[in-house]
Structure formats: structure tokens, C-alpha cells
Structure 1
């Protein structure tokens, strides 16, 4: 038994547990068990009743605002303190807010504190007031006219779209959708045989995110679409589904964290496109829920609403479904990798544009999607011998289907470094 992000052990009661109370109240329900050593072994608490009273007094006197918690006592004299995630964030201990970093408790930085304050006020970053007092919306106006038949973009319409507030002025969402702004954007690079060879590069920053979306789509079409003539007909061929690319870029613009001064990076290779978006999943949303589209949590709801009205996104929470639906007839599927501070989506070239995988190759490839395995683990899952397994892994590596992680006995294999 060991400590985790949501479980901490304390042999005795001291002020240090109050930092973890702050962390659980700020970022997610957790438990502190008093009467256990760091390794989980039981030592128990001698006077459990008075200790419980002491814990209550310490929390009530030290954590502001008051968190929601409960205490229980086991037959081994272990006191379990359960702290629930609160709604009135941030929760401070000695004027500082804390979070869990694996099994440790650390103070949050200024950026995360700002996010906690917004969450406690039930506000989104894109609803905050912009520092700009003069903005133009030519691109937005043209799109509203084309899609919705709006003849003129008035101040009243900007208010309706929550891009402007009569008392405070333009919102961050308004600035992001304006023709010019002070925010990062999209950085697109086309690579050659390796990441050290740049064949083309374009950066779209400081301009409307609607313009960024259009420019990214133009660059995609330049390299991943072509036309062939069949008889008297001209047919468009997509190496990567345009529908998937559209959804991926829109998803990145709507869901990224705009308080991080970093571009959305789009890397273009012969066999795939990788889109890396700043910021991990919205709080309270698991990777499984994100991929399955079970819950829609909009990090930037104002921007999301404008994209929805313009028909760029169809319905909240369905973008990932449509990306995978674009690959329904392909054995090779998109791969989503969730990191602590970013999300990477890999869109592979359609199978028809790549050499076909045989059944044995696909058996190994499919086992490496969304996870990494050692060659021994691959052998166990497929039933292949060592020689055959290594031969196929090397073939997949050479073809660019998988990646090799680490060296020696710790070597693992994965689709796109998951």
C-alpha cells in the first residue's frame, strides 16, 4: 500500500496535513489516513476521539473558506479524513493554495491560482475583460454574413455573442476573434525525412482565430489533397480526411488554454499530422470520457458558441467522435496522447495511401495503439515467437508505424510514443 495523488498517510497529527486539505479541496476529493507510516504500515492513534476533535479544530481554524470533510475511525484505530473537492475555490492554508503532485503536496503558482479563482467564481478565461479598447472584426463579420446572413456586425450583436460588455468593454473571447490581437496562434511545420529537415513553415499568430483556422486548412490542402482525372471526371483524393483535420484544429482552438503563451503546433509528415494543443484536459474530465465523448466540458464556452453558430463545430462534445468516424474503414486509427500540460492528436495518412499491413503486422500494431509495450509483452499478447516478434517490430519501425522508446531491457514500443 502506498501514497497516491488522492491518498496520504500520516503517522501522527501535525500542521503539515493542512496543506493536503487545501490541495484536496482545490483539486479533487482525497483521503488522509492518520495512524499509518509512509509505507502504509499500521501504527494506530492512541486517543482517537480527542485526536479527531483536534483535527476538526485545526481545519476549522486554518483553512479558508471552510472545506467539506468527514472523519471516520477504523477498528485498527486509524482515523480517515475525507476532504471533498469544494465549490468555493481557492481554499487557502496560511494564505497559500496547494495541489497534489503525484504523492507530494506543493504550492500552486500564480497561473494556477488565477485559474482556481476563476473556477470558484464560475468564470471562464475567455469571459475576462481584454486590455484592448479598440478592436476590428472584419473576418468575423464576413463569416457571420456568409453563414447566418448578418448584414452588419453591430455592438449589440457583439454583446449577444459575449464578445463585448457595456460596462467593462471587450472580453478575451472578443480579442481572440478580432482581426488582430496579442495572443499566440498556430505554428505549422512540414518536415522532410526527419525533424531536422524543414521543408515549409508558417506561423499564424496575433490574428483572428477564425483566420488561423482558415490558413491552417489551406496549408493542409496544399500537402494532403490532390486531384486525379478518371475519364471525364476530376476526383479529389484525401491522404488524410479533411473532416478529421477540420475537427482537430477547431477542437484545439476551442479547448486550448489561452493563458499559456504557446502556439498550437501542427507537425506535417509524409505519414501523419500531429497537432499539439497547450493545456491538458479540462478539470474533471478523464481521458476515457474525452475520447468517448461522454461529457462535454468547454474550457472556452464563448469561443465554442461562436464556432458552433458559424458551423465550424457541429455539436459540443462530438468532435473526437467525428475524427474517429473519418477513419472507420481504415485499420490505422488516430491516436490521442494526454500529457500533464498538453494534448497530442496524431492523424495518420489513410491506409489506402500507405503500404498495406499484413495480418501479423496489424496484430502487433493494434496492440501498441494507446499504450507502450516491451517485446516480451508483445510476444505474450500475440503468441508470436521472439524472432518473429522482433522482425515485425523492426519492419513497423522502418515503415514509421511505431516508435521505439528507451534502450536495453527497458526498450518499449508504441504507436506515436504513447
Structure 2
């Protein structure tokens, strides 16, 4: 008769038998209960597969060597299995032989929710061995067995006090919903859970600090030094609710790329960004919505001299190829609840068209769009190209870029100084920075070395009253830049 070890109420029955089935996908031998950590791992592995039995007190050759059963021995192993597996596993146990030379049989049933974790790692049984799973594989198995995607799982520990009301108001405004809509109605409408049990999507979209629950749910941005893959002029790690991450990533791109003025005959010139705003926004939005939040790594926005890249943790779905991204294809949202909420904000216009919208937005500026996967990351690359001369009937935005000498971060500073001397902190505010960053200091130092600007207090370079002004050389350069834009 079998019994189930649930807590400390363990009873045993002695069975006289010395034949043991060979080790396999559902059988494992252990010599002693001192191997309890391996026993816990195997219990989790069996539960992630089709169940199985561990025989403790059996040699590697399959011979009975027995273990001594003392008071509390079985309760101890049952408790170790329970507290070190997730979901907790409650084994059934039989004992063969006398207490001083017993063989302990630990039987585990298959768990309905897979995979089962042991010591904080997902594990499964393959043949005669236990194998730890990668995060993406564990997530795929979980979705199959539960019918739920990662964003629909309950976020453990997240409660109403963790919700950023400002983020909720921002969502209501963007989605066109009434600002008076109650939080409970918003959660219910988006299927984000209940007021007591919130889903992962809630924490990402409305959490004050989603990174408290998902450490790598952030965006890292960098503007690299010309010709370098390791040094950068500006960098920032962006945290907070998802829509705030999007806005601040877009602001970083705007601050670290250039703008061209195109004369159209209208009272005001058209301003053409170096990379189409619609394409950049689509790439970052897709990364935030469709990244694998179970994978190690953060979203990255990389700006080089000749291209802009958005790196997104997670591979393409198995039935979607790179080639299909260049044509109309079926939608494969990894996080459908999250994507559905963002869809309401009009940041996503139609399912399955994101990559095509990026391509279409880049076409007028002759920017090549490349998609690729590398080291478990999906990459969108917007690459500037040099085209031949266009017909005299009109200039494209790409030509305007090639001919305008468009404005960079350094040129923005020179324009500010043309009005009059200003301090580094004032420069930071007027160029969209929160503080005087290391990148801004490098830009100022570069302009000083080039002789385009000079300090107002030369003898005290670190004075709190220090400001900078334009030199004649800087004024001449700026004049030439302005004239080039008018031609």
C-alpha cells in the first residue's frame, strides 16, 4: 500500500522485494539519502515529463545496498522535495526491507503544469539524465501546458500599491478612453487580471517599477563613437512603465541623431529626421511588445554613424522566417495581452504589418532595412545608403541629408551659444538631457579643443559660474552651416 508524503504525517509499509527496474526515462537509482539534492532534481525532472520512481539504497550496478531509516528520515526527504520544487511536489513513498537496510521508493506523478523547477531552475527528464532548460524553452513548455502566454501569468507579489496611476492616466489618454475610467474597469477591460491578482502585463504597462519584478525589462540606448563598437558619446538605461520607456527611448534617438531642413516653398521648412520617426517608433514598440521577457538580456537601441539598430531578446517563432518579414505575413504576438493593450494606444495599427511599415517609412529616405537574428536576439537595422544623383525635378529626403550637412549634437550646442553665453546645466536642459552627462562633457571638450567655443572664466575651468561662448571660428563655421542649409 502506497502513502503520500504530505508534510510530516508520513507512514511506511515494508515490502520484501529485491528486483529493481533498469534506469530509464522514468527510473533512477540512488545509493543514499545523502544525495538529496540530486533526488530533488530528479523529482522535478520526472514531474516535468511523465512521472517516475527513484530507488534509494541501490548501487550503480543495480544491487541492493540499503539505507538506514531513522525517526523523521522520510519526513525530512519529503519536506526537502516540497520546499525546493516549484510548483511544490508531494511524492508517494514505499519502503522495502527492514529499517536498518531499507530501499526507499520515491514515486512522482507527472505535474499538469510544466516544467517543474528545482532550486530555481527548470528541469526535464531526457533519457536517463536530467537536463536544465533555457528560459525560452521553459516558457514554450509552460505555454503549451497552461494555454497561457507569459504576459497572462499572475505576477507574484504585485499589488495595487505597485500601480503607477500616472501611467494609467497616460494609457487612458492615448487610447481615447475616459480619464475617469476606474482602475478596476481598466484591468477588467484589458483582461489584466483582478484587483487582487494582476497579470505580468499589468506590471509592465502600469507598474511603478516593473524592473522590481522583471530585472531586465528595460531599454539600453547608446550613441557610439565613430568607428568604435565599445566607446560611446552618450548612453542611458531606461526603466519604468512600458510606454514611458518608449517615449524616453525615442527622445534619446532624437537627441543623438540629426535633422535636415528641406525647402518646400511653404512658409516653414520641412524638418526631416536622420531616421524616419515612424520606423524607429515601430521598431522600438515591437521590441517592447514582442520581446521574450523570460530571456536574459535587455532591449538595446544602438546608434552608429551609418545605421541605427534595435536589438530585441528572443528568436522568431519557428514558423516565421526572416524572408517572410519583407512581405505580408501572419501575426505572431509573443505577448498578446500586452500587444492588445498597446494596439489600443494606436502605436500598433494592424497585426502583422509592423515590419512592412518600417520598410515603407524608410523608402523615401533611401534607408535600407535589414532583419536578422544573432545570439538569441532579433535585430532591426536601419542602414543609410548612398544613391546616385536624382532627377533635377526634385530632391529626396536622402539627398537633403547628403547635401545639408545636417545638425548633430555638437551643432545644436553651437546654435545655443550663438544667442549668448550659457552654462553646461543650461545646455543640458535645452538639449533634452536631465543632467550634465559624461557624453555632454565630451562634446563640450571636443568643441573647446577645436576652438569653436571658449570659457567665460578661463582661469577657473571648474567654477560653478562657468559658462561658454562662441568664438569667431565657431561663428564662421555656424554661418557656413546655415548657408549650406539654405542652398
Same fold (TM over 0.5): yes
In 2, Cα distance between equivalents of 1:335 and 1:15: 50
In 1, Cα distance between equivalents of 2:237 and 2:295: 17
**Residue 219 of structure 1, CA deviation:** 1.5
Q: Decide which of 158, 161, 164 is 2:190's aligned counterpart.
A: 161
Spell out, residue by residue over 1:63-114, the C-alpha distance to the aligned partner (whole angstroms, 9 max, x if none).
Answer: 739xxxxxxxxxxxxxxxxxxxxxx99699xx96479xxxxx9945163334
Listed as ranges, the gaps of 5+ residues in structure 1 are 1-13, 20-62, 66-87, 100-104, 357-418
Counterparts of 1:178-327 in structure 2, within 5 Å, are: 178=206, 179-182=208-211, 183=214, 184-193=217-226, 194-205=228-239, 207-226=240-259, 228=261, 230=263, 232-327=267-362
Spell out, residue by residue over 1:136-177, the C-alpha distance to the aligned partner (whole angstroms, 9 max, x if none).
Answer: 2312322322441422242122121122325x5111100001
User: Which residue of the partner structure matches residue 204 of structure 2?
Assistant: 176
Counterparts of 1:394-405 in structure 2, within 5 Å, are: none
In 1, Cα distance between equivalents of 2:261 and 2:366: 24
User: Which residue of the partner structure matches residue 346 of structure 1?
Assistant: 381
Q: Decide which of 117, 132, 140 is 2:158's aligned counterpart.
A: 132
User: Which residue of the partner structure matches residue 64 of structure 1?
Assistant: 50
User: Which residue of the partner structure matches residue 133 of structure 2?
Assistant: 109
Number of residue pairs matched by the alignment: 270
Q: Is the 8 A contact 1:127 1:173 kept in 2?
A: yes
**Residue 251 of structure 1, CA deviation:** 0.8
Q: Is the 8 A contact 1:89 1:120 kept in 2?
A: yes
Report the CA distance shift for 1:229/1:116 in structure 2 as closer, same or farther (over 3 A).
closer
Q: Is the 8 A contact 1:337 1:344 kept in 2?
A: yes
In 2, Cα distance between equivalents of 1:142 and 1:91: 37
> Secondary structure at 1:275's aligned position in 2?
strand
Q: Which moved more, 1:130-139 or 1:143-152?
A: 143-152
Report the CA distance shift for 1:283/1:165 in structure 2 as closer, same or farther (over 3 A).
farther
Listed as ranges, the gaps of 5+ residues in structure 2 are 1-21, 27-48, 52-111, 117-121, 387-397, 404-487
Spell out, residue by residue over 1:382-416, the C-alpha distance to the aligned partner (whole angstroms, 9 max, x if none).
Answer: xxxxxxxxxxxxxxxxxxxxxxxxxxxxxxxxxxx
> Secondary structure at 2:363's aligned position in 1?
coil
Report the CA distance shift for 1:15/1:340 in structure 2 as closer, same or farther (over 3 A).
farther
Q: Is the 8 A contact 2:367 2:382 kept in 1?
A: no
In 2, Cα distance between equivalents of 1:317 and 1:151: 30
> Secondary structure at 2:362's aligned position in 1?
coil
In 2, Cα distance between equivalents of 1:219 and 1:97: 43
User: Which residue of the partner structure matches residue 420 of structure 2?
Assistant: none
Report the CA distance shift for 1:247/1:98 in structure 2 as closer, same or farther (over 3 A).
farther
In 2, Cα distance between equivalents of 1:292 and 1:202: 34
Instruction: Tell me the TM-score normalized by structure 2.
Output: 0.50
Q: Is the 8 A contact 2:286 2:354 kept in 1?
A: yes
> Secondary structure at 2:368's aligned position in 1?
coil
User: Are 1:143 and 2:161 counterparts?
Assistant: no
User: Which residue of the partner structure matches residue 421 of structure 2?
Assistant: none
Report the CA distance shift for 1:110/1:146 in structure 2 as closer, same or farther (over 3 A).
closer
> Secondary structure at 1:246's aligned position in 2?
helix
Report the CA distance shift for 1:204/1:96 in structure 2 as closer, same or farther (over 3 A).
closer
4+ residue runs over 6 A deviation: none
Spell out, residue by residue over 1:19-64, the C-alpha distance to the aligned partner (whole angstroms, 9 max, x if none).
Answer: 9xxxxxxxxxxxxxxxxxxxxxxxxxxxxxxxxxxxxxxxxxxx73
Report the CA distance shift for 1:211/1:246 in structure 2 as closer, same or farther (over 3 A).
same
Instruction: Tell me the TM-score normalized by structure 1.
Output: 0.57
